[in-house]
């Protein structure tokens, strides 16, 4: 790959150039010669995922409870985090039963994985309103806000990864004289 030997010149604050280089996705070719004399080119990809935050100091006492509310479109999720084994209970149902799509499950799990507590905390949530995707995003937002309450030092990292940002996009209202929010009736010149 051209430029694979170059060192990244932009280094995030608080990180060394070597650590920044390791965090970059790399792709390189490996050439081998077989017994027949043919050259075989294999492309190898090395992907480095973001590591969990090591300095998260959340109180895992048996009676510890951290609650928060997450929102997205018309969906509202009231979330409670408590010490446990990583079980998600949403409206009395398990995560894979409530959200069968793996992408939604992955999005919901991201905040706890980011701080390294995915197997140490249980999530109990009540969700109403909105569609499936909006409910998943509301749950993710609520988990993130509960983590911030549990350890305020996590705020910077959770904010950097975009977990605390409330997605304010909602349906635009219908206007009088129009068919929908922006769709106009067909124009007739005469």
- pLDDT tens figures, 73-125: 999 999 999 988 999 999 999 999 999 999 999 999 999 999 888 888 999 99
Mean pLDDT of 60-67: 81
pLDDT (0 to 100) of residue 47: 47
In CATH, the number for domain 66-160 is: 3.30.230.10
Residue 23 has pLDDT above 70, yes or no: no
% of the chain at pLDDT higher than 90: 54
- Residues recorded for the chain: 190
Mean pLDDT of 33-43: 61
CA-to-CA distance for 40 and 30, rounded, in angstroms?
Answer: 8
pLDDT (0 to 100) of residue 87: 93
CA-to-CA distance for 170 and 12, rounded, in angstroms?
Answer: 33
The CATH 3.30.230.10 domain(s) of the chain lie at 66-160
Mean pLDDT of 132-155: 93
Mean pLDDT of 2-22: 57
State how far the alpha carbon of 174 is from the alpha carbons of 160, 170, 177, 179, 182, in Å: 35, 12, 9, 8, 8
CA-to-CA distance for 56 and 26, rounded, in angstroms?
Answer: 29
pLDDT (0 to 100) of residue 176: 97
Model pTM score: 0.69
Average pLDDT, the chain: 81
Residue 25 has pLDDT above 50, yes or no: no
């Amino acid at each position: 790959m051209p430029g694979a030997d170059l060192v990244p010149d932009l280094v995030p604050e608080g990180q060394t150039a070597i650590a920044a280089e390791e965090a970059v996705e790399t792709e390189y070719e490996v050439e081998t010669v077989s017994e027949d004399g043919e050259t075989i080119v294999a492309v190898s990809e090395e992907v480095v995922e973001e590591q969990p935050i090591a300095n998260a100091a959340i109180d895992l006492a048996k009676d510890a409870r951290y609650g928060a509310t997450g929102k997205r479109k018309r969906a509202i999720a009231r979330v409670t985090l408590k010490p446990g084994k990583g079980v998600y209970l949403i409206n009395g149902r398990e995560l894979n039963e409530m959200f069968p799509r793996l992408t939604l499950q992955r999005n919901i799990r991201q905040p706890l994985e980011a701080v390294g507590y995915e197997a140490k905390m249980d999530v109990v949530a009540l969700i109403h309103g909105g569609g499936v995707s909006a409910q998943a995003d509301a749950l993710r937002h609520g988990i993130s806000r509960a983590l911030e309450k549990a350890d305020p030092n996590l705020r910077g990292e959770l904010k950097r990864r975009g977990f605390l940002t409330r997605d304010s996009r909602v349906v635009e209202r219908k206007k009088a004289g129009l068919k929908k929010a922006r769709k106009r009736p067909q124009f007739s010149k005469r």
